[in-house]
Amino acid sequence: MPLRNVLMLVFLIAVAATGGCGGKSYVSTSLGKQHHIEPAVNRISESKGSRNGAASMERDLAETERYLSVGDFAAVKRMTAAILKRQPASAQAHTYMAIALDQTGDSTGAGTHYLRAAEAAPSNGAVLGNYGIWLCEQGRAAEALGWFDRALAVPAYADSPVILANSGMCAGKVGQQQRAERELRRAIELDPENPVALGALARREFEAGNAFGARAFSERRLAAAPADPEALLLASQIEQKLGDSAAAARYVSKLKTEFPDAKEARSSANGDGGRQ
């Protein structure tokens, strides 16, 4: 992701070590995807080394998490590289490295570390889901669904709104519409402000010809989290469809002002909500 989007990141990292995924124990690395981050406390097993070594690892992971929260991805890379030299199978460190690489434009490298995290923690629904998200973004939706299935099969993550939302969005891309609808609806039952699910449902309603339903989900999406280019373009298209050209123009103006280099801004260059 281009660094210009760094300030749009929303970091909602759990601070208590819980066994499940209740609440918003995830980090949204963009407005289009949400990645789980496991708490930095009580994560390192003392069987991996001495008590002092475990405490040092925890401190380093916590420091890395702080760098991540302020968008200092160079520091995240430096810290995680050092951690992985000491503990190559740290799923948490691989996840942090993946996010840093993803945010600085190295999607391939990010995928490698998401996979390594999943291999290191095959019973952790969060890291399994993260790799599924990455696969779906690479156009490998069918493969991604298998990883989402594995994530949702972990009892503690069976009702994760983050995983359900991303799985549902991905299912829609490969024509599994019943699954998509079921999982997206379930995601917003669990988290009514989940931006991924709300955005995907707005898109589904719009493509189905239900512009009023699309508007309802679009407005909820924009209220739930900071706008991204895709959400603004869709909002403009919905308003154009409903005949409110002024509202459509406002969304286009916001899109061009806040995201002038986004492909969505270029597609709306004629000012009509993105219709070419």
Check residue 52 and give its pLDDT: 63
pLDDT band at 270 (very low <50, low <70, confident <90, very high): low
Check residue 54 and give its pLDDT: 79
Lowest-confidence region among 14-23, 163-172, 204-213: 14-23
**270 vs 264, residue with greater confidence:** 264
CA 258/CA 269 separation, integer angstroms? 14
Please determine, looking at this structure, whether the domain spanning 192-258 carries the CATH number 1.25.40: yes
**54 vs 150, residue with greater confidence:** 150
Task: Please give the helix or strand (H or E) that residue 85 lies within, else none.
Answer: helix 73-86
Query: Residue 17 pLDDT more than 50?
Result: no
For 136-164, b/e burial (b = at least 16 CB within 10 A) is: bbeebbeebbebbebbbebeebebbbbbb
CA-wise closest residue to 41 among 57, 22, 25: 57
Rg (CA), the chain: 19
**249 vs 2, residue with greater confidence:** 249
Structure confidence by residue, pLDDT tens digits, 112-139? 999 999 999 999 999 999 999 999 999 9
By three-state DSSP, how is residue 30 classified? strand
48 close to 23: Cβ distance less than 8 angstroms? no
- The pTM for the full model equals 0.81
Q: In the beta sheet, which residues pair with residue 12? A: 26
Domain boundaries, the chain: 192-258
Q: What is the mean pLDDT of the chain?
A: 84
CA-wise closest residue to 232 among 270, 269, 274: 274
By three-state DSSP, how is residue 159 classified? coil
Check residue 140 and give its pLDDT: 97
Count of residues in the chain = 276
Contacts of residues 59-65 at CB distance under 8 Å and 24 or more positions apart, as own/partner, are 61/90, 61/92, 61/93, 61/96, 64/93, 64/96, 65/13, 65/37, 65/40, 65/96
pLDDT band at 267 (very low <50, low <70, confident <90, very high): confident
